[in-house]
Amino acid sequence: MRILVVEDEPRMNQLLRRGLTEDGHTVDACRTATDARQCVRYTDYDVIVLDWGLPDEDGLTVLRQWRSEGMGTPVLMLTARGTSGDKVLGLRTGADDYLTKPFDFEEFVARLESLHRRAGGGATGDVALGDTVFRRAARRLVRGAATVELTGREFQLLSALQERAGDVLARSELLAKVWGPHFDGEPNVVDVYVGYLRAKLRELGATRLSIATVRGTGYRLVVSSEDSP
């Protein structure tokens, strides 16, 4: 998993980063709300660990903004606040899970893995797309014995295209669906991620599944019953 750790206490930040890295994960770590927003703007994470108390802004405010912008990345909130009311507030604000300090590291990792498994949302079954199977629950594409993993953003983009396979989706629509209605980055990020998906389809050797460019409009997922030339 690619994980963002947002924790202002230096020792805890270092311990989480080191422990997750040794567990085989790719970890970015920061200590402020400002840095967390920058990280999320430019990097696609599978799970975010967010501390409630940050020096420049509280974690709930950050989380509330992320959710209002349509960001669906699973968030595990860390806090020293252990009352039932605090937990309810955190979950209702948009946290997917809540862990009170101090905590057991193995439980912490297990919770992150559980969030990652559930990240596909309600539709988690396998979807046949030509000669390729879209395994939503596992966030991967499979063709025969070949498999490629999808990042969270790649998964969201392919899901948006798959839900309306055959239809043309405008870049602006894909941008709003995948990056949120208030995204203010470069619009060509859609083109970049379509390129990533196409590269993975080539890696699989897929011949009955492709993403077509509709000039001046956007993209269309093409599922064919015959091999493409």
Other CB atoms within 10 Å distance of the CB of residue 215: 5
Calpha distance 173→179 (Å, rounded):
10
The pLDDT value recorded for residue 125 is 66
Tell me: the pLDDT tens digits for 51-95?
988 999 888 899 888 888 777 788 998 887 666 676 677 777 788
Question: Token pair 């492709």 is at which residue?
Answer: 210
pLDDT class of 22 with cuts at 50, 70, 90: confident
Calpha distance 78→210 (Å, rounded):
41
Calpha distance 24→168 (Å, rounded):
39
- Nearest alpha carbon to residue 70 among 214, 149, 183, 208: 183
Is-contact 181 70, C-beta < 8 A?
Answer: yes
Tell me the pairing of strands 26-30 and 2-6. parallel
| CA distances to 58, 70, 153, 156, 221 from 65, in Å | 11, 9, 18, 19, 31
For residue 228, pLDDT beyond 50? yes
> Looking at residues 108-123, what average pLDDT do you find?
72
For residue 205, pLDDT beyond 90? yes
Residue 122 burial (C-beta neighbours within 10 Å; 0-12, 13-18, 19+): exposed
For the entire predicted model, the pTM comes to: 0.56
CA angle 162, 165, 169 (to 5 degrees): 90
Calpha distance 170→216 (Å, rounded):
9
Q: Which domains does the chain have, with CATH numbers?
A: 2-118 (3.40.50.2300), 126-223 (1.10.10.10)
Q: Tell me, what DSSP letter sits at residue 120? A: T
